[in-house]
Amino acid sequence: MRFLFLGDVMGRSGRNAVINYLPSLRQSWKLDFVVVNGENAAGGFGITEKIFNDLIDAGADVITLGNHAFDQRDTLVFINRNNNLIRPINMPEGTPGRGAGLFKARNGADVLVINALGRVFMADLDCPFRAIDREVTACTLSEKADSIFVDFHAEATSEKQALGTYLDGRVSIVAGTHTHSPTCDHRILPNGTAYQSDVGMCGDYNSVVGMDASEPINRFITRIPRERFEPALGLATICGLAIDIDDQNGLAQKIGLVRIGGVLTEETPAFWTL
Give me the active site residues, please.
68
Backbone φ, ψ for residue 158 (5° rounding): -60, -40
Q: What is the DSSP letter of 81?
A: G
Question: What is each CA distance from 46 to 52, 75, 118, 130, 168, in whole angstroms?
Answer: 10, 8, 17, 26, 30
Alpha carbon distance 174, 192 (integer Å): 11
CB 8 within 8 A of CB 179: no
Helix or strand (DSSP H, E) at 147: strand 147-153
Angle 205-209-12 from CA coordinates, rounded to 5°: 70
State how far the Cα of 64 lies from the Cα of 186, in Å rounded to an integer.
20
DSSP of 204-246, one letter per residue? -SSSBTTB-THHHHHHHHHSS--S---B--SPPBEEEEEEEE-
Enclosing H/E stretch for 159: helix 157-167
Mention every residue, 6+ apart, whose C-beta is less than 8 A from residue 61: 33, 34, 35, 84, 103, 105, 111
